[in-house]
Structure 1
Amino acid sequence: MLIIPIKDGENIDRALKRYKRKFDRTGTLRQLRSRQYFTKPSVTKRDKMQKAAYIQYLKDSVEI
């Protein structure tokens, strides 16, 4: 449970913005979406390798 202390005279919109930012950083929504269906470990590893290769390709293309 996230607790956001509201200071005296603080705007509710600002407190809501802090709550949303804190909620995003916890990664709760990402975790829920990833748990909706099962992915085999081999598929997870393959996706991770493809992402790493893509990032390396982008870094190499910037250096040239």
Structure 2
Amino acid sequence: MLIIPIKEGENIDRALKRYKRKFDRTGTKRQLQSRKQFLKPSVANRAQKQKAQYIQRLRDLENI
């Protein structure tokens, strides 16, 4: 549970902005989306390898 202390005389918009920023940084949204549907470990590993290959390909093209 995220707790955002509101200071005396602070604007509610500013507090909401701090809440949204903290929510994004903690990774809560990604965690909720990943728990929504089960993903087999083999599929997750394959996706991770494909992502690593893609990033490596981009870095190789950058160095050329």
TM-score when normalising by structure 1:
0.89
Identity, % of aligned positions: 73
Aligned residues: CA RMSD: 1.0
| 1:8, distance to aligned residue in structure 2 (A) | 2.1
Return structure 1 stretches of 4+ with deviation > 2 angstroms: none
Other-structure match for 2:17: 17
> How many residue pairs end up in the alignment?
64
| 1:9, distance to aligned residue in structure 2 (A) | 2.4
Other-structure match for 1:37: 37
What is the CA–CA distance in structure 2 between the aligned matches of 1:22 and 1:4, rounded to whole Å? 9
Per the alignment, in what secondary structure is the counterpart of residue 54 of structure 1?
helix
Other-structure match for 1:28: 28
| 1:52, distance to aligned residue in structure 2 (A) | 0.3
Other-structure match for 1:46: 46
| 1:21, distance to aligned residue in structure 2 (A) | 0.6
What is the CA–CA distance in structure 2 between the aligned matches of 1:38 and 1:6, rounded to whole Å? 38
Per the alignment, in what secondary structure is the counterpart of residue 36 of structure 2?
coil
Structure 2: which amino acid aligns with 1:32?
A: L
Unpaired runs of 5+ residues, structure 2, are none
| 1:39, distance to aligned residue in structure 2 (A) | 1.1
| 1:44, distance to aligned residue in structure 2 (A) | 0.4
TM-score when normalising by structure 2:
0.89
